[in-house]
Chains A and B, each alone.
Chain A
Amino acid sequence: MKTLMTTAKVALLAGSVAAAPAIAFAADNPIRGNIRIVIGSKSTGGDTYQASSIIAEALADKIDANIKVDAVGFSAGYQALARVPSGNTLMIFHDQAYLGHLYKQKGYEDPFKQWQIGPSFATNPGNGYLVPKNSPYKNMDEILNAAGNGQTIRVAIQPGGVSEIGYTAMKNAVRLAYPGQEDNLVALNTGSQSDKNQAMFDGLADVINGSVQANEQYTRLPADDQKAMNFVWLTAKSSTLQGANPEGMGQTSRDELLQYASGLGVKVPMDAENDFTFDKEFFFLYNKRMSPEVVAFLDKALADVFADGKVQETLKKSFFIPNFRTSAEAQKHFQAKRDSYAKIIENLHK
Chain B
Amino acid sequence: MEFLELLSPAFFLLAAAGSIIGIIFGAIPGMTATMAVAVCLPLTYTLGLQEGLALLLGLYVGGISGGLVPAVLLNIPGTPSSITTTFDGYPMAQRGEAERALKTCIVASLFGGFFSAVILFFFAPVLADFAIKFSYVEKFLMIFFAMSVIASLSKNILMGVFSGLIGVLLSLIGTYDVSNGGNGEYRLMMPFMEDYLAYGFSLLPVLIGLFGISTIIEEAEKGVTETSHENKVNLSKGKPFSFSIFKGQFGNLLRSSSIGTFIGMLPGIGGSAASILAYTQQKNLSKQPEKLGKGEPEGLVASESANNGLTGGALIPLLSLGIPGDSTTAVLIGAFTLQGLQVGPLFIGENIDTWYSMITGLMFANIIMFIVMFYAIRYIAKVVLIPKFVLYPIIVMMCAVGAYAINYGIMFDVWTLLIFGVAGWIFTKIGIEIAPLVIGFILGSAAEVYFVKSLESYGEYSILVTKSPIAMVLWGLIILSIVLSVMIHKKSKKQAQQESAS
Contact = CB atoms under 8 A, between A and B. Distances in A.
B338 A53 contact: yes
Interface string A33-74: 000001000111110011001000100000000001111100
Interface in B149-181: 175, 177-181
A291 interface: no
Interface string B191-229: 000000011000000000000000000000000000000
B408 A72 contact: yes
Contact of A191 (B175, B177, B186): B177
Contacts of B268: 194-195
A274 to B, nearest CB: 29
Nearest to A156: B181
A46 B350 CA distance: 21
B236 interface: no
Interface in A69-97: 69-72, 75-76, 79-80
Contacts of B185: 106
A273 interface: no
Given A160-B184, A189-B181, A75 B336 contact: no
A16 interface: no
Interface residues of B, number: 50
Q: Which of B323, B324, B336 has the most CB of A within 10 A?
A: B323
A220 B409 CA distance: 42
Interface stretch (B37-45, B387-395, B436-444): B37-45
Interface in A190-222: 190-195, 197-199, 201-202, 204, 213-218, 220-221
B383 to A, nearest CB: 32
A45 B324 contact: yes
Interface string A301-328: 0000000000000000110000000000
B456 A189 contact: yes
B56 to A, nearest CB: 11
A191 B179 contact: yes
B179 A192 contact: yes
Interface string B319-343: 0011110000011011011101011
Q: Which has the most chain A C-beta neighbours within 10 Å: B38, B182, B346?
A: B346
Contact of B407 (A72, A195, A199, A204): A72
Chain A interface size band reads: 35 or more
A80 B209 CA distance: 25
A146 interface: no
Contacts of A246: none
Contacts of B334: 44-45, 49, 71
A123 interface: no
A257 B487 CA distance: 61
Contacts of B457: 188, 199, 202, 204
Contacts of A75: 198-199
Contact of A45 (B199, B333, B347): B333
A201 B347 CA distance: 19
A76 B407 contact: yes
Given A218-B345, A221-B345, A57 B135 contact: no
Nearest to B449: A191
A195 B184 contact: no
Which of B38, B132, B185 counts the most A-chain CB atoms under 10 A from its CB?
A: B132
A105 interface: yes
Interface in A169-205: 188-195, 197-199, 201-202, 204
A225 B346 CA distance: 12
Given A158-B179, A225-B345, 19 more contacts: A44-B334, A45-B333, A45-B336, A71-B334, A107-B198, A159-B178, A159-B183, A189-B456, A191-B177, A191-B180, A192-B180, A194-B268, A195-B181, A201-B135, A204-B135, A214-B344, A215-B344, A227-B129, A318-B340
Interface of A: 38, 42-46, 49-50, 53, 57, 68-72, 75-76, 79-80, 105-107, 158-160, 188-195, 197-199, 201-202, 204, 213-218, 220-221, 225-227, 249-250, 317-318
- Please provide the 10 A-B residue pairs with the shortest distance between their CB atoms, ordered closest to farther: A44-B334, A217-B344, A45-B333, A194-B323, A318-B340, A191-B181, A217-B346, A202-B135, A191-B180, A50-B337
Interface of B: 38, 41-42, 45, 129, 132, 135-136, 175, 177-186, 198-199, 267-268, 317, 321-324, 330-331, 333-334, 336-338, 340, 342-347, 350, 407-410, 449, 456-457
